[in-house]
């Protein structure tokens, strides 16, 4: 009697699924494929090989998997239209698709190559293989399409540097769950990760001679790899705060400005050197990625007066537009009053995590108390950020730290005792721990309405920050199993419940292991 692995459930949950018993769709440890675009066929062959140990071969006729990209959009009318802001270089591609699985044949129907690619990612998830090389999938029909046009992950490669190969592995994981944008946080007070030709001291080698930044060629390769997975790279240059690394390399950026505290440094609009620096690095970042958006940062401008901050954001906003790009900014940038309907505001300061200056003062030396007070003022006025953006017609990218910051510690105990040490050291200590179930228990539209009625949701973005990371295994621990839950919030139209999501996710750990994310978090239940 043949034995076979059980298929994983489909994550994100599809709009419509009517499937039943498993049927065999291939044999001999292989699948044949026709009709897919060459890059999609190459990705499918790679994915079924890595995840299932199968061979996928293109054929002209008699294929096991037949792809059609010429369906009429009306065929997918039961799937609600996508909403939000499209981050792709060529916006508007229809991602809706249908899988029809029967004995010996899978038909994938879409109105374009991107929809076909999303259908192939679904098929990759639901395949199972028996011990004689038979390939199985649930028979029936799956019709699907995205809820939001913007579905992304922000990856901090500054606090912990990830090599190009490691970033590619993250992109591969994102593709499996139908994300379409990777926001790379490339600059901060701890480093600068994109090669700068105008200011080469930003990407100086470490004291031991090692290089922890991406050359222009390496970055171009990452952008190209992401594009093959229908993922757009959005680079971030964080200005005017979070710039200590830049000041260490180029002290002249201060331009004679008097700062309120020796440890506070920010780019001041009255500094000619700071203005020249900002214009140069914006041009470099705009050149590095072909997508329509550039992320300006703009968060936590501690110690900076409102008028100076607003003036600097107005300047950098103008320079981004002159580069032919649209602006994404953290929610504080709404205070400059310059964002418009073509821009995107990224909401991140979640309601349960208001800044508590007195608690923080108890944990830091007294000399830092003025800095805490400066930070407290920034957080005090944050509830007005999203309403100001909404009033100006600016779409909002939901990225609340209370649900979507995946560097938040786990409240669940580990099923693997060895991982308890990881659970104790990973995740920002300032954040109260949260269970995996609670991280799933929210809805983007409800969140937006709670912030400001009438807010247009651009989409959903998770974020992973690197302060506590020491290696790729730590990243796997914090990302999984929470990242697929974020994907479901961004993709799936009907609201799904935790019990159903968890049941579908139960079969996914072998996929994560195969992709190199072996240290994913294993909760007790």
- CATH number of the domain that residue 408 is part of: 3.20.20.80
Q: How many CA atoms lie within 13 A of 310 on its CB side?
A: 8
pLDDT tens digits, 36-65: 999 999 999 999 999 999 999 999 999 999
Residues of 41-55 as b/e, b for ≥16 C-beta within 10 angstroms?
bebbbebbeebbebe
Asked, for residue 1, whether it belongs to a domain, the answer is no
In the set 95, 195, 284, 300, the catalytic residue is 300
Separation CA 316–CA 433 (nearest Å): 36
> The tokens of 432 are what?
């109260």
Same domain, 69 and 166: no
Segments forming the whole domain that contains residue 404: 150-514
Separation CA 378–CA 382 (nearest Å): 7
Asked, for residue 290, whether it belongs to a domain, the answer is yes
Same domain, 140 and 166: no
Contact between residue 490 and residue 459 where contact means Cβ atoms under 8 Å apart = yes
Same domain, 96 and 156: no
Q: Has 391 been annotated as catalytic?
A: no
Cα–Cα–Cα angle for 166, 167, 170, rounded to 5 degrees = 95
Q: Is 516 left (phi over 0), alpha (psi -120 to 50) or beta?
A: left
When pLDDT is averaged across residues 451-461 and rounded to a whole number, the result is 97
Residue 355 has pLDDT above 80, yes or no: no
Share above pLDDT 70 across residues of the chain, in percent, rounded to a whole number: 98
Backbone angles phi, psi at 510, to 5 degrees: -60, -30
Proportion of the chain in helix, strand, coil states, percent, rounded to 5: 40, 20, 40
Q: How many CB atoms lie within 10 A of CB 39?
A: 14
Mean pLDDT value across the chain: 94
Residue of 297, 290, 309, 274 lying closest to 199 (CA atoms) = 274
Give the per-residue pLDDT at 31. Answer: 97
Same domain, 113 and 174: no
Asked, for residue 294, whether it belongs to a domain, the answer is yes
Candidate from 68-77, 127-136, 202-211, 481-490 with smallest mean pLDDT: 202-211
Separation CA 313–CA 339 (nearest Å): 9
Asked, for residue 218, whether it belongs to a domain, the answer is yes
Instruction: Outline where DSSP puts E strands in 468-521.
Output: none
Give the per-residue pLDDT at 255. Answer: 93
Same domain, 417 and 367: yes
Same domain, 345 and 413: yes
Residue 210 has pLDDT above 50, yes or no: yes
CA 409 to chain centroid: 19
Residue 354 has pLDDT above 80, yes or no: no
Asked, for residue 521, whether it belongs to a domain, the answer is no
Residue 111 has pLDDT above 50, yes or no: yes
Give the per-residue pLDDT at 120. Answer: 98
pLDDT bucket at 348, cuts 50 / 70 / 90: very high
Helix pair angle (164-176, 113-126), 10° resolution: 90
Q: Which of 103, 127, 144 is the last residue before a domain boundary?
A: 144
Candidate from 208-217, 230-239, 349-358, 472-481 with smallest mean pLDDT: 349-358
Same domain, 136 and 212: no
Asked, for residue 438, whether it belongs to a domain, the answer is yes
Give the per-residue pLDDT at 1. Answer: 37
Contact between residue 123 and residue 433 where contact means Cβ atoms under 8 Å apart = no
Same domain, 214 and 306: yes
The more confident residue out of 356 and 324 is 324
Number of H helices and number of E strands within the chain? 18, 18
Domain count, the chain: 2
Same domain, 229 and 91: no
Torsion of CA 231, 65, 488, 226, to 10 degrees: -10
pLDDT bucket at 501, cuts 50 / 70 / 90: very high
Residue 490 has pLDDT above 80, yes or no: yes
Same domain, 45 and 65: yes
Give the per-residue pLDDT at 506. Answer: 95
pLDDT tens digits, 227-272: 999 999 999 999 999 999 999 999 999 998 988 877 789 999 999 9
Residue 112 has pLDDT above 50, yes or no: yes
> The tokens of 319 are what?
């320079």
Q: Which of 112, 144, 176 is the last residue before a domain boundary?
A: 144
Asked, for residue 451, whether it belongs to a domain, the answer is yes
CATH of residue 119's domain is 3.30.379.10
Contact between residue 40 and residue 115 where contact means Cβ atoms under 8 Å apart = no
Residue 2 has pLDDT above 60, yes or no: no
Residue 3 has pLDDT above 60, yes or no: no
Burial class (CB in 10 A: 0-12, 13-18, 19+), 309: buried
Residue 167 has pLDDT above 90, yes or no: yes
pTM above 0.75, yes or no: yes
Q: Which of 144, 162, 193 is the last residue before a domain boundary?
A: 144
Same domain, 305 and 449: yes
Candidate from 161-165, 263-267, 274-278, 362-366 with smallest mean pLDDT: 362-366
Same domain, 108 and 196: no
Interacting residues of 409 by C-beta distance below 8 A, sequence separation 6+? 423, 426, 427, 428, 429, 431, 432, 433, 434
> The tokens of 91 are what?
């916006």
When pLDDT is averaged across residues 11-30 and rounded to a whole number, the result is 96
> The tokens of 341 are what?
């309907």
Separation CA 139–CA 393 (nearest Å): 45
> The tokens of 87 are what?
């981050």
Share above pLDDT 90 across residues of the chain, in percent, rounded to a whole number: 85
When pLDDT is averaged across residues 493-507 and rounded to a whole number, the result is 96
Asked, for residue 6, whether it belongs to a domain, the answer is no
């Amino acid at each position: 009697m043949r034995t076979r692995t059980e298929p994983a459930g489909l994550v994100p949950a599809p709009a419509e699924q009517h499937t039943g018993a498993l049927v065999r769709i291939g044999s001999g440890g292989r699948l044949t494929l026709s009709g897919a675009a060459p890059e999609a066929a190459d990705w499918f062959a790679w994915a079924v090989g890595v995840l299932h140990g199968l061979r996928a071969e293109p054929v002209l006729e008699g294929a096991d998997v037949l792809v059609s990209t010429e369906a009429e959009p009306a065929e997918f009318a039961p799937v609600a239209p996508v909403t939000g802001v499209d981050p792709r270089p060529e916006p508007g591609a229809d991602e809706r698709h249908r899988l029809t699985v029967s004995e010996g044949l899978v038909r994938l129907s879409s109105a374009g190559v991107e929809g076909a690619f999303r259908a192939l990612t679904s098929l990759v998830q639901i395949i199972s293989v028996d011990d004689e090389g038979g390939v199985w999938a649930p028979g029936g029909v799956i019709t699907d399409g995205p809820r939001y046009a913007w579905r992304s992950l922000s990856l901090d490669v500054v606090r912990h540097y990830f090599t190009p190969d490691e970033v590619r592995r993250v992109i591969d994981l994102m593709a499996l769950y139908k994300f379409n944008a990777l926001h790379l946080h490339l600059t901060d007070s701890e480093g600068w990760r994109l090669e700068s030709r105008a200011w080469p001291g930003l990407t100086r080698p470490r004291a031991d001679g090692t290089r922890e930044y991406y050359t222009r060629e390496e970055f171009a390769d990452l952008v190209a790899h992401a594009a093959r997975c229908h993922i757009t790279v959005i680079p971030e240059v964080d200005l005017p705060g979070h710039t200590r690394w830049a000041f260490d390399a180029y002290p002249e950026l201060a331009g004679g400005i008097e700062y309120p505290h020796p440890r506070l440094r920010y780019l001041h609009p009255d500094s000619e050197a700071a203005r020249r620096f900002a214009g140069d690095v914006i041009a470099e970042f705009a050149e590095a990625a072909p997508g329509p958006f550039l992320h300006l940062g703009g968060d936590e401008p501690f110690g900076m007066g409102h008028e100076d901050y607003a003036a600097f954001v107005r300047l950098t906003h103008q320079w981004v537009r002159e580069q032919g790009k649209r602006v994404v900014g953290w929610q504080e940038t709404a205070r400059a009053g310059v964002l418009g309907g073509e821009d995107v505001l990224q909401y991140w300061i979640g309601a349960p995590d208001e800044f508590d200056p007195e608690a923080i003062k108890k944990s830091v030396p007294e000399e830092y108390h003025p800095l805490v007070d400066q930070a407290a003022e920034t957080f005090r006025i944050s509830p007005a950020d999203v309403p100001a953006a909404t009033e100006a017609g600016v779409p909002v990218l939901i990225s609340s730290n209370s649900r979507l910051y995946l560097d938040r510690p786990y409240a669940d105990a580990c099923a693997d005792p060895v991982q308890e040490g990881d659970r104790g050291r990973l995740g920002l200590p300032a954040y109260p721990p949260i269970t995996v179930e609670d991280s799933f228990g929210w809805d983007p539209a409800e969140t937006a309405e709670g912030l400001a009625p009438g807010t247009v949701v651009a989409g959903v973005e998770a974020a992973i920050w690197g302060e506590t990371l020491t290696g790729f295994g730590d990243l796997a621990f914090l990302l999984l199993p929470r990242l697929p839950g974020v994907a479901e919030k961004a993709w799936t139209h009907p609201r799904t419940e935790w019990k159903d999501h968890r049941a579908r996710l139960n079969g996914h750990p072998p996929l994560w292991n195969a992709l190199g994310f072996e240290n994913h978090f294993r909760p007790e239940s």
